[in-house]
Amino acid sequence: MKLPTISDAQKQMLGYAFALFFMKGLSLIMLPITTRFLSPVQIGELELLAVTASFIGILLSASLHEALYRYCAEQTTKNQRLKTASNLFTLTLLISLSFACLGLIVTLSLQWKETWEISRQAVLVLWVSLTIEGAIAISLAWLRMQDRVKAFCRICITTSLFQVALVLILLQLGYGVVGVLVAGFIAHFIQLLLLIHASNLSITLPNTKFINTTLRYSLPLMLSGLVAFGLNGAERWLMLKGESLAMVGQYAIAAKFALAMCVLVQPFGMWWMPKRFIVAKNNPFKAARTTELGIMYVCILALFIGLFGQWLLEFALTDDYAIAGELLVGALFMVLGKEFAELLNLGLLQSKQTKTILTVNLWTTIVTLIWCGFTYQLGIWSIMLSIGVAQLIRALILYKLSQYYCTLPYRSLRLSVYPVITLVGLLAIQLGSTLQGLSSLACSFLLLIATYTVELPKHAQTKKVGV
C-alpha cells in the first residue's frame, strides 16, 4: 500500500477543514434568518433539545467510532477491515435503535404536562433522530480512514445545504421548533443512505466476543465524553433552573459565536495534533514553541470574536436578541480554558497518562457542577464565570502534571501572561465603549505578539529556566 505524500496529507487536511468550515459556517449564517422565525423561548427550547440529544447520543453511540480506529488498524486485508467496520456499524445501529425505541415508549406513556418547557412532539422527533446518529458517526469515520476526502466533503456539504433549504421551508410554513428537528432528521437520514452507498458498509451481525472486546475498549472513552459534557453542555440545564428558557435562547446565540472560535482553532489542531508526539520526542524545544504559538492564536481569536462578534450580533439580529451580545464575552471565557487544556496536556499524552487526564477531568467536572448547583440562583453570569474559572484551573492542573511526567522547555512566565492579557482585553471589551473596545483589542494584540516574539537576554534565561 502506497503511503500518502506530504502534499496528499495537506490536501486531505484542507478538504476536511473546508467541509468543517462550510457546515459550521452555515449555522452562523442561518442565525439572522432563524431568529426572525423563532423567539428566544423557542431558540432556548431548541438548544435544550440539542444539548439533551448530545448527551443521549454519547450514551447510544458508546464511542464505537473510536473502536473503529483501534481495531481496523490491526487488520491486514481490506476485506477484514470492511468486515470489522460493518460489525461496528451494525452494533451501533442496534444499540441506538433499542434504546431510542425504549425512549419513544416512555415518552408516549408519560402524562405530558402543559407547564413543561419542551413539547412532546419535539421529544418524539428527537428520539427518532437519535436512532441513526451513531451509525452516521461510524460511516463518516470509515470514510476518513479510507482517505475518501472527496466523498466525505461532497456528502456532508450536499446534505447540509439540503437541511438548510428544508429548515427554511418548514419555518416559512410555521412548524417552528418541530420543523427544525424534522428537517434535521430527514437530512441526516438521506446522509446515512449516501454514506452507506459510498462506504460499502453492510448489516453484519457481530459475535459475542467481538461485542465484549469493542465495548470494553469504547466504554471508558464514552465516560470521558460524558465527563467533558459536564462543563460543555450541562450548563444549559442549570441556566434553565436559574433563569428562564428565553435566557437559555439568548445564551445559545452567544455560544454559537464562541463555538466559532473553537472552529477557527481546529485547522491549527488538525495540522499540529497528528505530528506533536513525534516533534515532542525529536525536538522538545520546537514542540514547546509551537504549543505557545497555539495558545497565543487562541487568545487572539478570543479577543477578535469578542469585539467583532458583538457588532455582528447587534447588526444581524433583531432587538429581541440584544442580550446575546452582552453574553458573548462570558461564553468565550467559558471555552478559553478548554482550548488551553487541549494544547497543554501534551506531556501527559506523550507519557501515556490518559487515566490521569480522565481523573482530572472527572473531579473538575464534579466539583464545578456541585458548586453551580448551589449558586445557579445568582444568575447566568454566575454559571458562566464558575465554568470559565474551572476550565482555566483544569488547564493549569493538566499543564503542571504534564510537566511533571514529561518536561518540555516552555517559557512558563510567558504562558501565564497570555491568558492574563486576554482576560483584561475581554473585560475592557465587555465594559467599554466601541472606541475603547478597539483600543483594548489593538493593545492586546500588540502585547501578545510582543510577549511571544521578544527574547530575554541570555544571562536572564540561564538564571531562571522556563521564563
Examine residue 224 and state whether it is found in any structural domain, yes or no: no
Looking at the domain assignment, is residue 235 inside a domain? yes
* Residue 257 and residue 375 in one domain: yes
Q: How far apart are CA 223 and CA 228, in angstroms?
A: 9
190 lies in the same domain as 243: no
Q: What is the mean pLDDT of residues 131-140?
A: 87
> Is 291 within the bounds of a domain?
yes
Q: Is the pLDDT of residue 247 over 50?
A: yes
Instruction: Indicate whether 226 belongs to any domain.
Output: no
Q: What is the mean pLDDT of residues 256-280?
A: 77
The answer to whether position 225 is within a domain reads no
Tell me the whole-structure pTM to 2 decimals: 0.77
User: What is the secondary structure of 341-406 as a DSSP string?
Assistant: HHHHTHHHHHTT-HHHHHHHHHHHHHHHHHHHHHHGGG-HHHHHHHHHHHHHHHHHHHHHHHHHHS
Domain that holds residue 4: 1-219
How many folded domains does the chain comprise?
2
191, 252: one domain: no
pLDDT tens for 9-58 read 566 667 777 777 777 777 777 888 888 888 888 888 888 888 888 888 88
Q: Which of 164, 190, 219 is the last residue of a domain?
A: 219
- Same domain, residue pair 127 and 27: yes
Please tell me whether residues 203 and 58 are part of one structural domain.
yes
Q: What is the grid cell recorded at 424?
A: 483584561
Q: 367 and 410: one domain?
A: yes
Residue 3: pLDDT above 60? no
Listed in order, strand segments (DSSP E) in 132-247 are none
Q: Tell me: do 333 and 203 sit in the same domain.
A: no
Using pLDDT thresholds of 50, 70 and 90, give the confidence band for residue 467: very low
**Between 105 and 116, the higher pLDDT residue:** 105
Better-scored residue on pLDDT, 72 or 211: 211
pLDDT at 10: 62
Same domain, 261 and 116: no
Q: What is the pLDDT of residues 169-213, one digit of tens each?
A: 999 998 888 999 999 999 999 999 999 988 888 888 888 888 888
Looking at the fold, whether 363 and 248 belong to one and the same domain comes out as: yes
Shared-domain flag, residues 152 and 44:
yes
Last residue of a domain, which of 219, 242, 276?
A: 219
Which grid coordinates belong to 422? 486576554
pLDDT band at residue 4 under the 50/70/90 scheme: very low
CA atoms within 13 A on the CB side of 191: 29
Q: What percent of the chain has pLDDT over 90?
A: 12
Same domain assignment for residues 201 and 350: no
Percent of the chain past pLDDT 70, that is, above it, reads 90
451 confidence band (pLDDT: 50, 70, 90): low
Q: Last residue of some domain: 198, 219, 240? A: 219
For residue 286, give Cα distances in angstroms to 4, 104, 272, 395, 418. 24, 53, 12, 21, 19
Beta-carbon count within 10 A of 197 CB: 11
The yes-or-no verdict on residue 412 having pLDDT over 80 is yes
- Alpha-carbon torsion 19, 83, 190, 123, what sign? negative
Asked whether residue 18 falls in the same domain as residue 38, the answer is yes
User: In b/e form, how buried is each residue of 97-130, taking b as 16+ CB within 10 angstroms?
Assistant: bebbeebbeeeeeeeeeeeeebbebbbbbbbbbb
